[in-house]
Amino acid sequence: MLFSSITFLYYFLIAVLVLYFIVPKKFRNIVLLVSSLFFYYWGEKNYTIIMILMSISGYVHGLLINKFKGTKKAKIALVSSIIVGIGTLGIFKYTDFFISNVNSLLHTDIGLLKLALPIGISFYTFQIISYTIDLYRGKAEVQRNLIDFMTYVTLFPQLIAGPIVRYVDVEKELKDRSCTFEKFAYGVNRFAIGLAKKVLVANVLGEFCKIAKTTSSNSVVFIWAYAIAYALHIYFDFSGYSDMAIGLGRMFGFHFPENFNYPYIAKSITDFWRRWHISLSTWFRDYVYIPLGGNRVPKWKWIRNIFIVWGLTGFWHGAGWTFIAWGLFFAVLLMIEKLFLLDKLEKIPAWIGRVYTLFLVLLSWILFDATTITEAFSRITAMFGGSGLPLITSETLYYLKSYAVVFIIGIIGATPLLKSLVLKIKEKNIGRQIINLLEPIVQVVFILVVTAYLIDGSFNPFLYFRF
């Protein structure tokens, strides 16, 4: 069930909110658990049991780690929990990838399993693992209530697409949380903004990308436009969904971590990854990079750590060589920056750093979106006139004019310009009153326009479902 669907907006969400606020507080986690299981079952009937079993596994392993705290048995329980989590994720997500590569390398004919990837498994697996690791490290307290633990794992606002919420982020709120009018109003506003970003910007730019990849009348300008459109598309798609998740969480009294911070204004690749998919990059930092020694090791080991982390980051996104190459591409860039480029980037004008970063990020998204590495290099070559394409065609001009408005909205919306403007207006009392008056009106307009788009049956996929 997509957040950006009529079923979710006008049936599921309203029913859950009404039920949540009319039951006594002690039953609210039960309401959320049952609602979340139904939400997941709606779109993933065959694999709901996998999520339930994974949740129970994390719960039991947590009890064992706590029981044997400080002993070798606790470490065995921790390793067991990681093996179960990564093993399950590996079976569903990576088995066919490895079989295909073995067949190609050894000229064998091993049959593929062709297992469908359970929605959200990459996210809830990492959440369970973060719980058992933090428990073992003494950073979290054991959760003895199975309902509360399963509520954490299955919580529908962040279940299928993150952000990756660690147990320590919501540990206290699972037991006691307040639901005030201010929090609810903030949640509605954040959800409405995310919904508009997803449906009115990301979906429309997704249509443009589809056209650009299938056109028979391509041009250099069209490929550049596609690269820019895809960069905006993936940002508004994923950040919009994160906004909706954070907003929904706040409606129910939870504070989920921020996942994006205007990544396209970054002055370096290092800065970009402090702003993009923050919950994922910090997860790999805290649970992979630092345990490997981080940068407090000999230089060769530090370089090894960077390549391991970013190879895994790419592989997390998908079982394909394009994703691994995408991750390693960033590993090389980050290594270069940390070795000698970062201090130079900090001294030059900010706009130069931003152009440098955007250029490399655009190239990375072409690799990310390609089916094969060869296809990615073909597109990148064509961007610089290496494929004999014309600079521009009449079809290119037609589509650029047709989508010009959404391109402009996307470019402005990917910067903090509008947010800064609103904050500036709010500095004065009259401005604050005007914004407070307009805010609910804008929310209603967003929801009505989105509803019209959804009823019309417009293009409405969600990119991160494939990961």
Q: 227-274 pLDDT, tens per residue? A: 999 999 999 999 999 999 999 999 999 999 999 999 999 999 999 999
Please state the φ and ψ torsions of residue 310, each to the nearest 5 degrees.
-80, -25
Tally Cβ neighbours within 10 Å of residue 247. Answer: 23
pLDDT tens string 146-177: 999 999 999 999 988 879 999 999 999 999 89
pLDDT of residue 78: 97
For the chain, what percent of residues have pLDDT higher than 90? Answer: 79
Q: Which residue has the tokens 């996929």?
A: 461
- The average confidence (pLDDT) of the chain is 93
Average pLDDT over residues 167-191: 92
**Alpha helices per DSSP H over 346-387:** 350-369, 373-383
- pLDDT-based confidence at residue 15 (cuts at 50, 70, 90): very high
Alpha-carbon distance of 356 to 350, in angstroms, equals 10
Q: What pLDDT does residue 215 have? A: 84
Tokens standing for residue 343: 């201090």
The answer to whether 132 and 59 have CB atoms below 8 angstroms apart is no
| DSSP 8-state symbol, 465 | G
Which residues are known to be catalytic?
Answer: 317
Alpha-carbon distance of 13 to 24, in angstroms, equals: 19
Cα angle: 128, vertex 283, 247; to 5 degrees = 80
Instruction: Report pLDDT digits (tens) over 284-325.
Output: 999 999 999 998 999 999 999 999 999 999 999 999 999 999
SS (H, E, C) 191-236: HHHHHHHHHHHHHHHHHHHHHHHHCCCCCHHHHHHHHHHHHHHHHH
pLDDT for 449 beyond 80: yes
Query: Which pLDDT belongs to residue 437?
Result: 87
Does residue 225 register a pLDDT over 70?
A: yes
Confidence of residue 459 (pLDDT cuts 50, 70, 90): low
Is the pLDDT higher at 435 or at 142?
A: 142
Tokens of 424: 């500036």
State how far the Cα of 198 lies from the Cα of 462, in Å rounded to an integer: 9
Q: ω before 257 within 30° of 0 (cis)?
A: no
* Contact present, 167 and 140 (Cβ < 8 Å): yes
pLDDT at 102 over 90: yes
Statement: residue 31 has pLDDT above 90? yes
pLDDT digits (tens, 9 = 90+) for 354-366: 999 999 999 999 9
Whole-angstrom CA distances from 280 to 3, 163, 259, 260 are 21, 8, 8, 11
CA separation for the pair 13, 3 (Å, rounded): 9
Confidence at residue 243, expressed as pLDDT on a 0 to 100 scale? 95
Residue 119 corresponds to which amino acid? Answer: I
What's the average model confidence in pLDDT over 92-106? Answer: 94
pTM over 0.85: yes
Q: 458: alpha, beta or left, given left = phi > 0 and alpha = psi -120 to 50?
A: beta
pLDDT tens, position by position, 359-400: 999 999 999 999 999 999 999 999 998 888 899 999 999 999
Torsion of CA 92, 130, 241, 359, to 10 degrees: -90
**Phi and psi, residue 23, nearest 5°:** -85, 155
pLDDT exceeds 90 at position 96: yes
- Cα-to-chain-centroid distance, residue 430: 37
Q: What's the pLDDT band for 46 if we cut at 50, 70, 90?
A: confident
Tokens of 57: 């596994």
Cβ count within 10 A of residue 452: 11
Mean pLDDT, to the nearest integer, of 31-42? Answer: 95
- Residue 252 CA to residue 170 CA, distance in Å, equals 12
Half-sphere exposure (CA, 13 Å, Cβ side) for 84? 22
Model pLDDT for residues 397-434, shown as the tens digit of each residue: 999 999 999 999 999 999 999 989 988 998 888 888 88
Q: How far apart are CA 350 and CA 140, in angstroms?
A: 40
